Structure 1
Amino acid sequence: MTTLTNGTGHADQAAQPLNVLVVGAGIGGLSAAIFLRQQGHCVTLLEQSRFAKELGAAVHIAPNATGLLLRMGINVEDLGAVPCRILTQSLSDGKQLLEVPLWRAAGRWQHQWLLAHRVDLHAELKKVATAENGPGTPAILRTSSRVASVGTDGSIILDSGEQLKAEVVIGADGVHSKARYALPGSQGLKPAGDGKSAFRFTMPRSRALEDPLTKPLAEKEGHLNMYMGRDRRIVIYPTRKHKLLNFVCIHPTSESEQKDENSDGWQTDANLSKMLAVYKGWDPSVLKILSMADEDTLKVWELLDMGQLPTWTEGQLALIGDAAHPFTPYQGQGAAQAIEDAASLACVLPLGTPLAEIQERLKLYEKCRMQRATMIQEYSRQIGTDLGSGPPLDISRFTDESFGHDEWHYTSQKLREWQWSRKPTAYRRMPTVFGPFPGPRQDHFGNTRDWTNSTFTTASIKLKTSRTLLQNLLPTPQFKFASADSNCFATFALSSLGNLEWLGGNGYNHFGLYIHGVEYTKENGDKVVGTFLAVLFENLADPIISGREELGMPKVFASLDVARDEGTFKLKAGWMGNNFLDLSITGLKAQPALDGVQGSGPPSSGLPGHGPPPPPKEEGLFFRKYIPSTASEGSKERGQADADYVGFLPNDEEAKAPRQVHSTVVADQAKIKFDSLDWKRLPTLHHIVDRLAEIPIYAVAEAKVVEGLGGSDVKGARRLV
Structure 2
Amino acid sequence: MVSITKTSLVNGTNMQVLVPNYYKDVNDSLYAVHREDLHSQLRLLATQKEGPGRPCGVLVRSKVINYDAIHGKVTTATGEILQADLIIAADGVHSEAVKHVLGDEVVTAGDTGWACMRWLVPKDELFSDPETANMIQDSTTRYFTAAEGAAGLVWYPCRSNEVQNFLYLSREFDTSHVGEDFRTMVEPNTPLEYSKNHFAPTLQTVIKKARDVKFWKLIARGPINKWHKDKLLLIGDAAHPMLTFQGQGGGQAIEDGGALGVLFDQLHDKGEIESRLQIFEQVRRNRGSALQVLSNTNPPPPQSVREAAAKYVPGVKFDSTDAINDYVLSFDVIAESKAALAATLA
Partner of 1:401: 327
Among 40, 65, 82, which residue is 2:2 paired with?
A: 82
Partner of 2:154: 235
User: Structure 1 residue 285 and structure 2 residue 202: aligned?
Assistant: yes
How far apart, in 1, do the equivalents of 2:98 and 2:192 lie? 38
Q: Give the CA RMSD over aligned residues.
A: 2.4
The aligned amino acid for 1:125 is L
Pick closer, same or farther for the CA change 1:165–1:388 going to 2, 3 Å: closer
Shift of 1:256: 2.4
User: Structure 1 residue 321 and structure 2 residue 236: aligned?
Assistant: yes
Q: Which has the higher strand share?
A: 1
Shift of 1:384: 4.0
Partner of 1:163: 81
Partner of 2:181: 265
Shift of 1:302: 1.1
How far apart, in 2, do the equivalents of 1:183 and 1:140 lie? 25
How far apart, in 1, do the equivalents of 2:267 and 2:214 lie? 46
Among 225, 230, 245, which residue is 2:164 paired with?
A: 245
How far apart, in 2, do the equivalents of 1:154 and 1:191 lie? 25
Partner of 1:369: 284
Among 199, 204, 208, which residue is 2:117 paired with?
A: 199
The aligned amino acid for 1:94 is M
Pick closer, same or farther for the CA change 1:386–1:325 going to 2, 3 Å: closer
Partner of 1:343: 258
Partner SS for 1:399: helix
Shift of 1:376: 1.7
Shift of 1:187: 5.3
Pick closer, same or farther for the CA change 1:210–1:393 going to 2, 3 Å: farther
Partner of 2:54: 137
How far apart, in 2, do the equivalents of 1:124 and 1:388 lie? 39
Contact kept in structure 2, 1:232 and 1:250, CA below 8 Å: yes
Partner SS for 1:299: strand
Contact kept in structure 1, 2:294 and 2:305, CA below 8 Å: no
Partner SS for 1:127: helix
How far apart, in 1, do the equivalents of 2:104 and 2:158 lie? 37
The aligned amino acid for 2:135 is L
* Structure 1 range deviating more: 89-98 or 362-371: 89-98
How far apart, in 1, do the equivalents of 2:91 and 2:218 lie? 17
Partner of 1:93: 14
Deviations 1:442-500 (A, max 9, x none): xxxxxxxxxxxxxxxxxxxxxxxxxxxxxxxxxxxxxxxxxxxxxxxxxxxxxxxxxxx
Contact kept in structure 2, 1:87 and 1:99, CA below 8 Å: yes
How far apart, in 2, do the equivalents of 1:186 and 1:197 lie? 30
Partner SS for 1:350: coil
Compare relative contact order (CA 8 Å, sep 6+) and give the higher one, 1 or 2. 2
Partner SS for 1:126: helix
Shift of 1:382: 4.2
Partner SS for 1:227: strand
Contact kept in structure 2, 1:239 and 1:246, CA below 8 Å: yes
How far apart, in 2, do the equivalents of 1:400 and 1:265 lie? 33
Pick closer, same or farther for the CA change 1:390–1:210 going to 2, 3 Å: farther
Contact kept in structure 1, 2:158 and 2:165, CA below 8 Å: yes
How far apart, in 2, do the equivalents of 1:189 and 1:221 lie? 42
Listed as ranges, the matches of 1:343-492 within 5 Å are: 343-384=258-299, 394-420=320-346
Shift of 1:179: 1.8
Pick closer, same or farther for the CA change 1:186–1:238 going to 2, 3 Å: farther
How far apart, in 2, do the equivalents of 1:378 and 1:319 lie? 18
How far apart, in 2, do the equivalents of 1:213 and 1:105 lie? 33
Q: Which ranges of structure 1 fall in alignment gaps of 5 or more residues?
A: 1-80, 421-721
Shift of 1:286: 0.9
Pick closer, same or farther for the CA change 1:88–1:340 going to 2, 3 Å: same
The aligned amino acid for 1:157 is T
Partner of 1:275: 191
Q: Which ranges of structure 2 fall in alignment gaps of 5 or more residues?
A: 307-317
Pick closer, same or farther for the CA change 1:87–1:385 going to 2, 3 Å: closer
Partner SS for 1:330: coil
* Structure 1 range deviating more: 227-236 or 355-364: 355-364
Whichever of the two has the greater Rg, that structure is 1
Among 220, 225, 230, which residue is 1:310 paired with?
A: 225
Partner SS for 2:296: helix
* Structure 1 range deviating more: 189-198 or 276-285: 276-285
Pick closer, same or farther for the CA change 1:386–1:277 going to 2, 3 Å: farther
Partner SS for 1:318: strand
Shift of 1:105: 4.5
Contact kept in structure 2, 1:251 and 1:278, CA below 8 Å: no
How far apart, in 2, do the equivalents of 1:318 and 1:389 lie? 31
How far apart, in 2, do the equivalents of 1:390 and 1:377 lie? 10
Partner of 1:611: none
Identical-pair percentage: 25
Partner of 2:311: none
The aligned amino acid for 2:4 is C
TM-score (norm 2): 0.88
Residues matched between the structures, number = 330
Shift of 1:339: 0.8
How far apart, in 2, do the equivalents of 1:232 and 1:284 lie? 15
How far apart, in 2, do the equivalents of 1:137 and 1:155 lie? 21
* Structure 1 range deviating more: 306-315 or 186-195: 186-195
Among 160, 165, 172, which residue is 2:90 paired with?
A: 172
Contact kept in structure 2, 1:85 and 1:101, CA below 8 Å: no
The aligned amino acid for 1:84 is I
Listed as ranges, the matches of 1:696-707 within 5 Å are: none
Shift of 1:98: 2.3
Pick closer, same or farther for the CA change 1:119–1:390 going to 2, 3 Å: closer
Partner SS for 1:237: strand
Pick closer, same or farther for the CA change 1:88–1:216 going to 2, 3 Å: farther
